[in-house]
Amino acid sequence: MTTDTIFDITRTSSSRINNVDLDNPGFGREFADHMLEAEYRDGRWQQPEIKPYGSIEITPALSVLHYAQSVFEGTKAYYVDGETVNLFRVEKNFERMVRSCERMCIPKVEREVFLEGIKELIKLDHKWVPQKDGNSLYIRPFACAFDPIISARVAEQYRFYIITSPVGSYYDRPVKLTTTQQYVRAVKGGVGAAKTAGNYAASLYPAQQAKKQGFDQVLWLDAEEHKYVEEVGTMNIFFVIDGVLVTPSLRGTILPGVTRDSIIQLAKHWDMPVEERRISIEEVMQAGEDGKLEEVFGAGTAAVVAPVEEVHHDGQSVTFDIEGRGPVGQKFYDAITDIQYGQAEDPFDWITSVKVNK
Ligand SMILES: Cc1ncc(COP(=O)(O)O)c(C=O)c1O
């Protein structure tokens, strides 16, 4: 099947690319010329359209605005050379989107539309993929309820979109984390493992409180005992304790990150001891006190590896005197970004190269 039969494509007649500074695009503020839109109605996804990026008309009664039946993904495209743009493990993003859709009662987005849609957008808008080191084109697929009805029920109509946004490299200033005994991100049986809007809305208030106390983000603990470490805002968390890489196991309350999975695979490939298990905040603080906590870092698409300079819990802090990533975090950062930008071998077959016309 050619892409013309999968999508109706309408090209923009006036590109906005000259209005954007691709060297300094910020994050999520500028959008490339085209977007994909698919409608779900009459019990099936209709033929998707690729068309100029622009506003959409909605009614104030739109169901997603009221009941948050909505899922999304986040991945990036990396400039390699004038003819090649790399995508990183987009298949994993598709699989996670399908799981998120299932949990949120959203009809499963079609594989071909998701994967070929991303590739087609990259081909059309390849000039929007920034060339500056560390910059990339962020890709945001999302699906949401589109019934023009105020009623708390599973919707009958949906929309699926893919929009893309040139983004700068994430500032790698080390972050300060604090736990909270008052708030939780996700409960067992809830929607913590789904990439759904409400998870982010619910975490805003605790994150704002943490910021008021001088921290960057909350280090979430489990909801039952407030004892075990889960994750951070939009990142999974890793600890290096006495030479062993430790990250909380996936138990349905944590988002299964693509970066997390990549780090675990790399560690195994390098024969670096790695443990996915429950890790209590007491163990972390004790390791800090004993001088065995060598590094802490967050892992996610935005920053890849974000160094942590402080973990605060219950009036105590473990701090690291660092200016950037530690050696272990840096090693993962370099390995992953080198693969993403086509500067290293890809032993795990993580890359999809999109050939673009100059
Ligand atoms: C809550 C949460 N945890 C972890 C991650 C990291 O996931 P990934 O590595 O797939 O970006 C993200 C980002 O998507 C997130 O929103």
Say whether both 202 and 163 belong to one domain: no
Say whether both 12 and 149 belong to one domain: yes
Say whether both 249 and 160 belong to one domain: no
pLDDT at 186 over 70: yes
Say whether both 250 and 297 belong to one domain: yes
| 286: number of Cβ within 10 Å | 14
Identify the pLDDT of residue 173. Answer: 85
Assess if residue 251 is contained within a domain: yes
Say whether both 306 and 268 belong to one domain: yes
Assess if residue 348 is contained within a domain: no
Q: What is the mean pLDDT of residues 199-228?
A: 97
Assess if residue 347 is contained within a domain: no
Say whether both 106 and 240 belong to one domain: no
Q: What CATH number does residue 36 fall under?
A: 3.30.470.10
> Model confidence over 321-335: pLDDT tens digits?
999 999 999 999 999
Assess if residue 21 is contained within a domain: yes
Alpha-carbon span 57 to 34, nearest angstrom: 17
Assess if residue 264 is contained within a domain: yes
Assess if residue 346 is contained within a domain: no
Say whether both 236 and 301 belong to one domain: yes
Q: What CATH number does residue 282 fall under?
A: 3.20.10.10
Categorise residue 284: left if φ over 0, alpha if ψ from -120 to 50, beta otherwise. alpha
> Model confidence over 217-231: pLDDT tens digits?
999 999 999 999 999
Alpha-carbon span 252 to 269, nearest angstrom: 26
> Model confidence over 64-98: pLDDT tens digits?
999 999 999 999 999 999 999 999 999 999 999 99
Q: Which two tokens stand for residue 95?
A: 């699989």
Q: pLDDT category, 279, cuts 50, 70, 90? A: very high
Residue type, 138: Y
Verify whether ligand 1 is closer than 6 Å to residue 198 (CB atom).
no
> Model confidence over 13-71: pLDDT tens digits?
999 999 999 999 999 999 999 999 999 999 999 999 999 999 999 999 999 999 999 99
Say whether both 39 and 131 belong to one domain: yes
Verify whether ligand 1 is closer than 6 Å to residue 259 (CB atom).
yes
Q: What is the mean pLDDT of residues 189-206?
A: 97
Ligand 1 pocket mutation pick from 234, 250, 251, 265 by most atoms within 8 angstroms of CB = 234
Identify the pLDDT of residue 2. Answer: 65
Say whether both 275 and 146 belong to one domain: no
pLDDT at 171 over 70: no
Tokens 């996610």 belong to 300
Identify the pLDDT of residue 5. Answer: 81
Closest ligand 1 atom, CA of 92? 10
Contact status, residue 34 vs residue 120, Cβ threshold 8 Å: no
DSSP reduced 3-state for 6: helix
Residue nearest to atom 2 of ligand 1 (CA): 234
**Average pLDDT of the chain to the nearest whole number:** 96
Tally of structural domains, the chain: 2
Identify the pLDDT of residue 358. Answer: 66
Say whether both 334 and 199 belong to one domain: yes
Q: Which two tokens stand for residue 318?
A: 């473990």
Distance 276 CA to ligand 1 centre (A): 17
Alpha-carbon span 114 to 136, nearest angstrom: 19
Which residue range(s) make up the domain with 92? Answer: 3-167
Say whether both 121 and 201 belong to one domain: no
Assess if residue 350 is contained within a domain: no
Identify the pLDDT of residue 1. Answer: 57
Say whether both 68 and 104 belong to one domain: yes
Verify whether ligand 1 is closer than 6 Å to residue 73 (CB atom).
no
